[in-house]
Amino acid sequence: MAEAARLTLLAQSAEDLPALAALLQDATLRTPDIARDVRARRLVLLLNRYRWEAAAGSRTRCALRIEGLLGVQQKSWPQSDDAVLNLLSLEWTAPHLTLLFSDHVALRAEVEALDLIMEDLGDPWPTEKRPRHSL
């Protein structure tokens, strides 16, 4: 069996964001999977990304790095570290990148400029749970 390709994408403009957002849609994480490095001005999220580009249902561990971080705000943030957040979309309105999660949870990063790096970290694992969206 051939090894699955690991993706690495960079988004530095509003035109780059839709492709990256589509690949990250329905990624899941828990609040302890988010780290802020104040000195490096970076926010890192470790996600379980659903591999929309794969023929068979699978997920992979993925890092999303937000560079040039000036500040971060949370909305409707869960109190429990066990809460699972489901990423729905990324929105860019300079100088803010907003990560919208299910249940009206949001994370808004104030940044110097749009500078995101998404990188798959490991081999994918199969899943029968394909994310579904109602219209």
- Report yes or no on whether pTM surpasses 0.85: yes
28-67 pLDDT, tens digit each: 999 999 999 999 999 999 999 999 999 899 999 999 999 9
Q: What percent of the chain has pLDDT over 90?
A: 90
DSSP structure string for 9-59: EEE-STTTHHHHHHHHTT-EEEGGGEEEETTTTEEEEEEEEE-TTSSS-EE
Q: How confident is the model at residue 1 (pLDDT cuts 50, 70, 90)?
A: very low
75 has pLDDT over 90: yes
Please state, in angstroms and as integers, the Cα–Cα distance from residue 121 to each residue in 2, 5, 23, 131, following that order.
17, 11, 14, 21
